[in-house]
Amino acid sequence: MSRILIAAAGGRVARRVAAALCARGETPRALVRDAAKARRVLVDDRGAALPVELVTSDIAELDGMRRALEGVEIAFLALGSSLDQVALEKGFIDVAADTHLPHLVKLSAAAAASDAGSRRCCAGTLQSSRISPRAAFPTRSSARRPSRTS
């Protein structure tokens, strides 16, 4: 059984996380709302289907979320930006807390403000759960990273 869940796995970032995990020998569970799109995009660099366990559900559907989170030890959440994003992420975290998810990694955005609505709401929801969270903050571009020689 998969111990890793990638939620919204058909997204541009999440599909690369799925490919990287599969390249390391993992068989993650991939939660998608469009199975046909997922089969198209969840492929390796040769176009071969990734060995993921596909679960089809909208993140707003609680039963689908419970199925997706069953037995999972770590979830990666990379939901697309929309007006519903905060509500959907909070709903996901609530189901994850109910199903005793131990660890959650939530993809944030580059240079997200510390008081951004999504960050504040998710932090509050996570604090009242027993989930161990990690927020991944992407950098804007590698050119902005400090030089190793300086």
Ligand X SMILES: NC(=O)c1ccc[n+]([C@@H]2O[C@H](COP(=O)([O-])OP(=O)(O)OC[C@H]3O[C@@H](n4cnc5c(N)ncnc54)[C@H](OP(=O)(O)O)[C@@H]3O)[C@@H](O)[C@H]2O)c1
- What residues make contact with ligand X under the rule CB under 6 A? 8, 10-14, 33-34, 37, 58-60, 78-81, 88, 107, 109-110, 138
Residue nearest to ligand X (CB): 11
Report yes or no: 90 and 123 within 8 Å, Cβ to Cβ. no
Minimal distance, residue 16 CB to ligand X, in Å: 8
Minimal distance, residue 107 CB to ligand X, in Å: 4
In the numeric block, which tokens belong to residue 8? 């919204």
Minimal distance, residue 64 CB to ligand X, in Å: 9
**Positive or negative CA dihedral for 26, 32, 37, 41?**
negative
Kindly tell me which of 37 and 120 has the beta carbon lying closer to ligand X.
37
Q: How far apart are CA 82 and CA 84, in angstroms?
A: 5
Q: How far apart are CA 78 and CA 86, in angstroms?
A: 12
Report yes or no: 10 and 78 within 8 Å, Cβ to Cβ. no
Kindly tell me which of 10 and 28 has the beta carbon lying closer to ligand X.
10
Minimal distance, residue 47 CB to ligand X, in Å: 19
Kindly tell me which of 49 and 130 has the beta carbon lying closer to ligand X.
49
Kindly tell me which of 79 and 96 has the beta carbon lying closer to ligand X.
79
Q: How far is CA 91 from CA 15, 38, 111, in A?
A: 22, 22, 24
